[in-house]
Amino acid sequence: AQSVTQLGSHVSVSEGALVLLRCNYSSSVPPYLFWYVQYPNQGLQLLLKYTSAATLVKGINGFEAEFKKSETSFHLTKPSAHMSDAAEYFCAVTSRGGGNKLTFGTGTQLKVEL
Amino acid sequence: NAGVTQTPKFRVLKTGQSMTLLCAQDMNHEYMYWYRQDPGMGLRLIHYSVGEGTTAKGEVPDGYNVSRLKKQNFLLGLESAAPSQTSVYFCASSYEGLAGNEQFFGPGTRLTVL
């Protein structure tokens, strides 16, 4: 079985400040990890993914995430928040076989304030 | 390319009514998925398909049926709707093969069951 835990259902940052969204995973086999973003009333869009290549993964819109096996973490960061980053962010995990099924975390709502 | 499309966008049902949600993709993907999204619970997999003519249960399949008669379409049926099925439903698709392939999401269907 695999699962992800997202700490903090709501995170608020000031524009220009560091964004840090936390994700910890549990998996008995090597995981593949994803971050998706959901803007209001829209579907999910892939930000970045880890598939066992480089542990530091760069994604769209200036986001990046680092896979740390020792900490079972895959936290999402962005050096400087922009108002347009306000959205809900989901961490997800899958593994080899079984139809590429994703298990999602419960999501973190990011608010960016002036 | 339209990507993943969902029909309808909104629907209100009365308890006991039936309906079918249609998902279509034009990317020639083998795998397709149906999720439901509820506040504070992230996305949960209802059913999925790894190819035309195949379906399998996900995490929360009760009360739903699916069919994949054509590769590009994946239908989700509610035979007797219940208020607990009020949710936002997302369809997704991905390439087959190695895990870690991105899932592409549709815009969602907002369903209310009274």
Cis-peptide into B8, omega within 30 deg: yes
The predicted-structure confidence for B4-47, as pLDDT tens digits, reads as follows 999 999 999 999 999 999 999 999 999 999 999 999 899 999 99
- The band of B2, judged by pLDDT with boundaries at 50, 70 and 90, is confident
pLDDT at position B97 is 62
Q: Is B41 helix (H, G, I), strand (E, B) or coil?
A: coil
pLDDT at position A99 is 76
**E strands, B1-114, where?**
4-7, 10-13, 19-25, 31-38, 42-49, 56-57, 65-67, 73-78, 87-94, 104-105, 109-113
Say whether residue B34 is in contact with chain A using an 8 A CB cutoff.
Answer: no
Distance CA B88, CA A55 (A): 33
A100·B43 Cβ contact <8 A: no
pLDDT at position B96 is 76
Q: Average pLDDT, whole number, for chain A?
A: 93
Give the one of A44, A97, A106 whose C-beta lies nearest to B99's C-beta. Answer: A97
The predicted-structure confidence for B40-77, as pLDDT tens digits, reads as follows 899 999 999 999 999 999 999 999 999 999 999 999 99
Give the one of B42, B45, B50 whose C-beta lies nearest to A90's C-beta. Answer: B42
Q: Which residue of B has its CA nearest to A41?
A: B107
Say whether residue B41 is in contact with chain A using an 8 A CB cutoff.
Answer: yes
Say if strands B109-113 and B10-13 run parallel, antiparallel, or are unpaired: parallel
- Among residues A26, A29, A65, A28, which one has the least CA distance to residue A46? A65
Q: Is the pLDDT of residue B98 over 70?
A: no
More confident residue, B38 or A30: B38
Averaged over A6-12, what is the pLDDT?
A: 96
Q: Is A60 helix (H, G, I), strand (E, B) or coil?
A: helix
The predicted-structure confidence for A84-95, as pLDDT tens digits, reads as follows 999 999 999 987
Say whether residue B42 is in contact with chain A using an 8 A CB cutoff.
Answer: yes
H or E, element range at A89:
strand A87-94
Give the pair of three-digit tokens for residue B58.
């996900």
